[in-house]
Structure 1
Amino acid sequence: MATPFFFFFFFLLFFPLYSLQTAFVAPIYKDHISLLYSISVHLKTPLRPANLHLDLGGGFSWIDCYNRYNSSSYQFVLCNSPLSHSLQQNTCGSCVEAPSPVCANDTIFSYAYPEKPFLRDQFVDYNHAKLTDSENVITDVLALFTTDGSDSYPLRRIPEIPFSCVKTDFLRGLARGVIGLAALGRSNVSIPSVISAKFNSPRFFAICLSGARLGTGVAFFGSKGPYKFFPNVDLSKSLIYTPLLFSPATNSIYTNWLPSYEYYIGLSAIRINGKAVPFNTSLLSFEPVIGGGGTKISTSTNYALLQSSIYRAFTTVFMKESAALNFTLTNAVEPFGVCYTAYSVGVTAEGQARAPVVDLVMEKGKVVWKLGGRNTMVRIKKNGVDVWCLGFINGGEFPRTPIVIGGLQMEDHLLQFDLENYRFGFSSSALMEGTSCSKFNFTSINNISL
């Protein structure tokens, strides 16, 4: 009877636990020019480091196949293959050039993808649709660090990740150095879905964005937690949950009959220092045909966007509450509409603006996401100007989405997407917990063996 135990002990001795991990972790970088986020991964064979734009609502990942794409493991998606049938809109194509990642016979061209994330907040003009510039769909190897939730361990390869090819100029407007886009949306071919399917791991992922110039944020895939940050703070223990909502229609000319891949929450009110912001909450209802409405969470928007009437009501209450704190209004700096002199605002012990607290209220007051000055104010210090500006932007009279929660609002809050129970979990500010999103222990980064 001792033999099985001895074998198990021997197995663990020579095959460390990290080799059994099916949870993955990746650094998230913020580009401080575009203010956009990218996820650091390894791609292709042999493996090479790569940065991909982090698109929380993307349904399909894409990559630049025209700029020296070399890999021995890429494959085309053949017509009538199982993967081709899972792509809701595609065309079987042929070409006359030599085989390459952008040309092969009897393979799938996906005309619904790729998608630029910025276009999803615009209404589609179906009479003058902006067609995507799509090429072949390929699969290739993706490698991520494994994790137990406390530390990172060596890379593990994930085969046959689907990507749509794009031309190099499709990268315009994204952060410097990215070569494609990592889709984290609700589709069955997004990166979280593919990982969960291949490893039979929980259909969970989490992100923790950092705005720090030094240090990185972190993404977890296939893990319900723990999510531990220095000094041994498990942010999964402070998660508050609310239902995930989904818009009934995408904003694509090709797949507008399908539910959106993006993530929405049921915002019912906004409070500032406990004072209600008066606005027409019917604006947040989903439009059943074209899918407008709702409150969306987006990593492709720098700051929160508010429909004009909501913005006017929000800034009126905010300015009243900030006046009580003796904030001094000054000339606004674009793209912001409300700014204050830096000396009148001051900072807290954590280095964030001393500002009125904004409550995002859900489920009729049962769930509240509190945002302090770290997530509501932006310091602009250049060319002799030193001001703090309100990080909520006027999104126009007729935006597709009346409220978009942007990157600033998410930074240093752990956000979990539970796709098994359709829940959205958010932590309190990591700064108030004595840590930050930049304090996950990526010990494996400097010890990579490819």
Structure 2
Amino acid sequence: MHLLQQLFVIVLAFTSLEHVSIIVYAQPYTSVVAPVNKHIDTAKSLYSVEIITTLDENKHALANFLIDIEAPFIWHDCIVRWNTFATSCPSNTLCTYPVSCDEYQCDEVRTIYSYKNPSCSRDPGYSSLPGWGCTCPVNVVDPVTGSCGQAILNYDDFTMYTSDGRKVGVDAFNKFYGANPNAACAPSSSFSSFPTNVSGVMAFSSSPYALPAYLYQPLKKTFALCIPSKPSTRGVLFFGTGPYYFLPQTNVDVRSYLSYTPLLKRQDSFGYFINVTSIVIKKRTINVPVNTTTKLSTIDPYTTLRTDIYNGVLRRFSLVTKRLLPAKPVAPFGLCYSTSTTGLKVPDIEFILQNGQKWSVSTTNSIKQVTDKVACLAFVDGGATSEPAIVIGAFQFEDNFLEFDLQNSTLGFSSSLLRKKTSCANFNFTLAN
């Protein structure tokens, strides 16, 4: 019996040591984080994320990438060089290492994980690099104009700050987190339609060539997006598990505000979809046909509805706002109001989801101030054959916290954070010491 007790003590000691070692070596960060900006200097509002790129001679610089949650891969303003060494990369240019046409990544990106766009050639051809051989041209689609162009697939290097949910750069030893994705280099002329100082597209889709696929342990496969409503403020993008804390509620985890619904996939898209079963405005239900697909988009500026659904929403919204002074509609909107201030107050528009959860679209996300005197319902008629039938656009995301759990295929959503006395601009981006 005494021997058994000794064995038990030895086992317990090893177990305790194991637990102690886990505590000692646990990473001090739970996520990586990057600022998000709103741009209004293009035909439609767009949103970018700031990522650290590595320049020649180990210098670091920030670059702004459009946030696209449907793009199959990352592409940006850079050039490929197989023999990059000190001073070989042109000044103020980002140089990267090319993917050969013989490598499997080339075949996959050119065929399976490519842009699906009728304006793109099915075969972008091949090109060669002096001293290297065959490179890997791929099609890219401009999210502003919809036009197709070409880029060269490469091996890239991106860096983000770590976070414990409260601050940036957890400590001196755990300040940065690096990722090495396959991306594509496009010529500077490819970005002439982009917002000022934006020179790339950062893919956050379900594709294995989007950024989330390259972020590994200890990070959980979850990214959270909180885009700002003003170009003068910065929102935030997290990758990894929470917590997430926004000022001034320093002890309130934003996850406590979230409701959840399943994320759905479609074989013809790398984007994210949910199931909206109906739309409710002031206790009156607008029916949504069974099996209607709802896509989430950071590129489409406003929520787009197929004509049959749009007409139902327009009729009901007109009725519950009949006391407001109407104004002549301003394209692309179909219902506008005369106002001398931005304080217009209207009923919520509620998206009822498949599991009974309710995503409430409040005034700040349903009414767009178009001019000093005109505000419009920020929902757009997509046409009689629009597919998907519903696209929830980026204006409806502003100051909403969205958590995309890619491992469990769920979407967490907060509805407007303004009702919680905070906003997407309230994450503390002050670097830790």
| 148 and 444 in structure 1: CA distance in 2 versus 1, 3 angstrom threshold | same
Contact map agreement 1:145 1:444 (CA 8 A) in 2? no
Determine which structure has more spread, i.e. the larger CA radius of gyration: 2
Please report how far the alpha carbon of residue 136 of structure 1 lies from its aligned counterpart in structure 2 after TM superposition.
1.7
RMSD: 3.0
SS in structure 1 at match of 2:151: coil
Instruction: Indicate the residue corresponding to 1:32 in structure 2.
Output: 40
Deviations 1:58-95 (A, max 9, x none): 110101236977346x2112344464465362889764
Structure 1 gaps, min length 5? 121-129, 250-259, 286-293, 348-352
What is the identity percentage for the equivalent residue pairs of Structure 1 and Structure 2?
27
Contact map agreement 2:127 2:136 (CA 8 A) in 1? no
Instruction: Indicate the residue corresponding to 1:374 in structure 2.
Output: 364
Given candidates 282, 288, 291, the residue that maps to 1:273 is: 282
Q: Does 1:391 align with 2:408?
A: no
- Taking the aligned partners of 1:277 and 1:229, their CA distance within structure 2 comes to 35
- Taking the aligned partners of 2:387 and 2:404, their CA distance within structure 1 comes to 23
Deviations 1:198-228 (A, max 9, x none): x35211101011112332111001x221111
Q: Does 1:210 align with 2:218?
A: no
Instruction: Indicate the residue corresponding to 1:43 in structure 2.
Output: 53
SS in structure 2 at match of 1:193: helix
Contact map agreement 2:336 2:376 (CA 8 A) in 1? yes
| 68 and 117 in structure 1: CA distance in 2 versus 1, 3 angstrom threshold | farther
| 367 and 94 in structure 1: CA distance in 2 versus 1, 3 angstrom threshold | closer
Given candidates 87, 90, 115, the residue that maps to 2:141 is: 115
Q: Does 1:105 align with 2:92?
A: no
- Taking the aligned partners of 2:62 and 2:428, their CA distance within structure 1 comes to 19
Question: Which structure 2 residues correspond to residues 223-372 of structure 1 after superposition, within 5 A?
Answer: 223-231=240-248, 232=250, 233-249=252-268, 260-279=269-288, 281-282=289-290, 285=292, 294-323=293-322, 326-343=323-340, 347=343, 353-363=344-354, 366-372=356-362
Give the partner amino acid of 2:410.
R
- Taking the aligned partners of 2:351 and 2:124, their CA distance within structure 1 comes to 46
Give the partner amino acid of 1:207.
L
- Taking the aligned partners of 1:336 and 1:92, their CA distance within structure 2 comes to 38
Give the partner amino acid of 1:75.
Y
Contact map agreement 2:144 2:194 (CA 8 A) in 1? no
- Taking the aligned partners of 1:298 and 1:94, their CA distance within structure 2 comes to 32
SS in structure 2 at match of 1:219: strand
- Taking the aligned partners of 2:353 and 2:51, their CA distance within structure 1 comes to 35
- Taking the aligned partners of 1:166 and 1:368, their CA distance within structure 2 comes to 41
Structure 2 gaps, min length 5? 1-12, 80-89, 113-122
- Taking the aligned partners of 1:134 and 1:69, their CA distance within structure 2 comes to 22
Q: Does 1:23 align with 2:31?
A: yes
Please report how far the alpha carbon of residue 152 of structure 1 lies from its aligned counterpart in structure 2 after TM superposition.
1.0
- Taking the aligned partners of 2:127 and 2:328, their CA distance within structure 1 comes to 57
- Taking the aligned partners of 1:92 and 1:424, their CA distance within structure 2 comes to 36
User: How many pairs are equivalent?
Assistant: 385
| 116 and 398 in structure 1: CA distance in 2 versus 1, 3 angstrom threshold | farther
Contact map agreement 2:53 2:60 (CA 8 A) in 1? yes
TM-score normalised by the chain length of structure 1? 0.78
TM-score normalised by the chain length of structure 2? 0.81
Instruction: Indicate the residue corresponding to 1:89 in structure 2.
Output: 111
Deviations 1:315-364 (A, max 9, x none): 110000112xx211111222221111115x872xxxxx411110001116
